[in-house]
Amino acid sequence: MDKYRLKKILRGSSKFYLVDIETLESVNDWAEYLDSILHGDCYVLERNGELILVEQRQLIEVVHGLRIEIYLKEHTPPHFHVTSTNVDASFRIDNCNKMIGSISRKEELAIKFWWQKAKPRLIDVWDKTRPSDCIVGKYKNPT
């Protein structure tokens, strides 16, 4: 495989499943491939002898350079993560209050504006990404 194409597919991601392993030619190709499996956003489970690819995070959207993601196997309350070069913060899904982290006021306002329309999608993704062994279940609207 063209090493530049392989690096582009694998760089900083978990997209090892997009690589046709028949095209891996060198030890370096295999090393890049293995590194993306071990350090990417996915992991591989074995259930009844079958290997299953599991994504650890679900990208919701990128808003003005801010990555908005929901992670699997999370703690309560239901929330989403916002990250970029200078931002690492978590917000509640129910009211968009910041739980923890650092984010500028301007970026926080952009997230709150985005959240007004995106809340139903956040709830949907939260519910769909709860693994069966997750201690936090589906979203329940606090009353």
- Residues 24-71: pLDDT tens digits? 888 887 887 777 776 666 666 677 887 766 666 778 899 889 999 988
pLDDT at 110: 96
CA distances from 53 to 16, 46, 50, 93, 94 (A): 10, 9, 10, 26, 30
**Nearest one of 81, 83, 89, 93 to 138, comparing CA atoms:** 93
Answer whether residue 136 shows pLDDT above 70: no
CA dist 82 and 103 (Å) reads 9
pLDDT at 6: 57
CA dist 94 and 115 (Å) reads 10
Instruction: List the chain domain ranges.
Output: 3-54, 56-128
The model's pLDDT over 74-132, given as tens digits with 9 standing for 90+, comes to 778 899 999 998 999 999 999 999 999 999 999 999 999 999 999 999 998 888 877 66
Are the beta carbons of 91 and 99 closer than 8 angstroms?
yes
Helices 27-39 and 3-10 pack at an angle, to 10 degrees, of 0
